[in-house]
Amino acid sequence: MKIIYSIVILLSLSFTTFAQDIIRGVVVDAETKESLPYTNIILSNAKKGTVSNADGKFNLSLKNIDTSDTLVFSYGGYETVKVVIDKLPRNCQIALKPNIVNLEEVEVTDKQESVKDIIAKIEDNFEKNYVVEAPYKEKLYIHNYGITEFDDDILDPMLVKKSSFEGLNQETFDELKRVLPKEFINYNDAQVMLYHKEDEAKLSNLQAISLEESTASEAYDQMTEKFEGFVNDMESSFNDDEIYYRFKMGIISTKIRGDSTDTEDASDDFERDSTSYTVGTKYIRGGINELKKNYASLDNKNWEFVTKRGKYNYTLEGASMMDDDVVYIITFKPKNGGLFFGKMYVSTETFAVLQIDFEYAPNKEGRDIHLFGFGYTETFKKGRVLFEKSGDKYYVKYINAEEHTTFSVERSFALVKKQKRFFVDKTLNEIKIKFNIVADSKETKELLVLDRKDITEQSYDMVEEEEKMKFQKIVTTQDYIWEHGTVIEPTQELKAYKRKEITENK
């Protein structure tokens, strides 16, 4: 009995100790008490940190952290708050006071500078402020949540007009429609190390989890089962000099060619079982680099409010402090074809952007392509980017990107199996299908830099990137322990999310 009692006491002490290793809290406006989402939170000495989530909530692991260090809370247009960790309760509320001042009250190099001159200097100084050539490494937390919903009101999304292939008929596609989910969900989080050297990068996985990929996986299983014979026959034709397949769409007709080596290499990048799945590391690394390029760089169309100034109206709202920088507060809205409205905080000294918020203006859309029965429309886009200064350079600290798109297919296709002959090739089998599919996709991506350090070229060269990255399948993020410290606190909606089902592969 004493042994059981001792175990209970030890477990209780362990839990208490663990609970005390994390600070949790919420950041609010001191006047309105409304939460302040995506507040920048950083340790003054360690230069590590996090951000508050969309609900204004945050958590910070104190593992390997000096509790005499100071936690700095900064948000554009608000006074910065600094608190010694030792003096913070483990559940706290941080209140920030609004702080927008007249330009006459702060020291600015040129108070006669027009707002368009300031925007122009953002572009002129971008490379000087942001482009880093020396090698460095970043510890990142990445989050991705996406849902694609199909229009269920369409009665015949896949209509077989003709088929001489055995087992490929209208009944087959009707059954496929019945087993396919109405929505495809993808939900995964990861902590990784990303190593940089000039234009190169390498990725090392620390910990990765997935709450949902099963909807797509189950659909894939169903499709594989129903079309396995057809696919195998098509692949065998790639090594047959007499038999081949041809794809036809209207007046367009092309022979289907295959490279078995490429096919095997691609399939090897994606493997899964009942407890985990793997993805080619190059795809994760590429996704991170693409997110940074699209939301935190001039080398994309999203920052047109900086590079295409003739399309926008700008208003200089005043000035404020962000950390130790005096910043201009500039709002912008579209004219003459511009897409976005938003707000940016720009250093009065270096003309670097420290924080930017932008989204499609009302009744604005991005790319809208409708061609040959295919449709693709970017209906919504919203971004928030935070930068932090280290030395004389500015680095991405946090990106939150939300994108909505609609895509459609209303087109007939045909697949024809042919046998070569001297004059006219013989048609062995043919299937004609009309697709009428409409779907809406919503995706949220987050990237948080937890830590950043300079490294040598030799250190970079010694890093070996593994070919695959493994994601552990879990049921819920509630009480999930990240071994490598702080992540973004999940929103209340994501906390409530639970995996629908984990099933064994068949």
Please report the pLDDT score of residue 18 as a whole number: 38
Average pLDDT of the segment spanning 282-296: 95
Average pLDDT of the segment spanning 295-317: 94
Of 13-27, 228-242, 323-337, 344-358, highest mean pLDDT: 344-358
- Token digits of residue 472: 């552990």
Of 161, 25, 189, 3, residue with least CA distance to 96: 25
How far CA 262 is from CA of 228, 269, 488, in Å, comes to 19, 11, 38
- Asked if 502 and 214 touch (Cβ cutoff 8 Å), the reply is yes
Confidence check: pLDDT of 501 > 80 = no
Average pLDDT of the segment spanning 447-470: 93
The residues, ordered by sequence, that sit 6+ positions from 25 with a Cβ below 8 Å of its Cβ are 57, 58, 59, 88, 91, 92, 93, 94
pLDDT tens digits, one per residue of 129-163 = 998 888 999 999 999 999 999 888 887 889 999 99
Confidence check: pLDDT of 489 > 80 = no
Average pLDDT of the segment spanning 255-269: 59
Q: Which residues of 205-222 are buried (b: 16+ CB within 10 A; e: fewer)?
A: bebbbbbbbbbebbeeeb
Helix axes 214-237, 170-179, angle to 10 degrees: 150
**pLDDT band at residue 468, thresholds of 50, 70 and 90?**
very high
The pLDDT > 90 percentage for the chain reads 47
Rounded to whole angstroms, the maximal C-alpha distance in the chain is 93
> Which residues is 161 bridged to in the sheet?
none
**pLDDT band at residue 212, thresholds of 50, 70 and 90?**
low
DSSP state of 497: -
Of 184, 265, 269, residue with least CA distance to 223: 184
Please, what is the average pLDDT of the chain? 84
Please report the pLDDT score of residue 119 as a whole number: 96
- Asked if 329 and 318 touch (Cβ cutoff 8 Å), the reply is yes
Average pLDDT of the segment spanning 230-254: 88
DSSP state of 169: S
More confident residue, 339 or 174: 339
pLDDT tens digits, one per residue of 344-388 = 999 999 999 999 999 999 999 999 999 888 999 999 999 999 998
Confidence check: pLDDT of 195 > 70 = yes
Average pLDDT of the segment spanning 472-493: 72
Please report the pLDDT score of residue 86 as a whole number: 87
Q: Range with the lowest mean pLDDT among 26-40, 189-203, 259-273?
A: 259-273
3-state secondary structure 229-296: HHHHHHHHHCCCCCEEEEEEECCEEEEECCCHHHHHHHHHCCEECCCEEEEEHHHHHHHHHHHHHHHC
Of 77, 92, 158, 105, residue with least CA distance to 355: 77
Please report the pLDDT score of residue 291 as a whole number: 96
State the Cα angle at 62 between 289 and 140, rounded to 5°. 5
Please report the pLDDT score of residue 498 as a whole number: 59
Please report the pLDDT score of residue 504 as a whole number: 36
User: Pseudo-torsion of CA 328, 334, 340, 346, nearest 10°?
Assistant: -10
Q: What pTM does this model have? A: 0.82
Of 18-32, 171-185, 274-288, highest mean pLDDT: 274-288
pLDDT tens digits, one per residue of 81-116 = 999 988 888 888 999 998 876 666 555 555 567 899
**pLDDT band at residue 7, thresholds of 50, 70 and 90?**
very low
Average pLDDT of the segment spanning 11-28: 60
Average pLDDT of the segment spanning 62-87: 87
Please report the pLDDT score of residue 493 as a whole number: 62
CA distance 42 to 392: 18
The residues, ordered by sequence, that sit 6+ positions from 122 with a Cβ below 8 Å of its Cβ are 306, 346, 351, 352, 353
Confidence check: pLDDT of 282 > 70 = yes
How far CA 387 is from CA of 68, 211, 419, in Å, comes to 25, 29, 61
The residues, ordered by sequence, that sit 6+ positions from 450 with a Cβ below 8 Å of its Cβ are 48, 49, 50, 139, 140, 141, 191, 485, 486
Please report the pLDDT score of residue 479 as a whole number: 62
Please report the pLDDT score of residue 336 as a whole number: 82
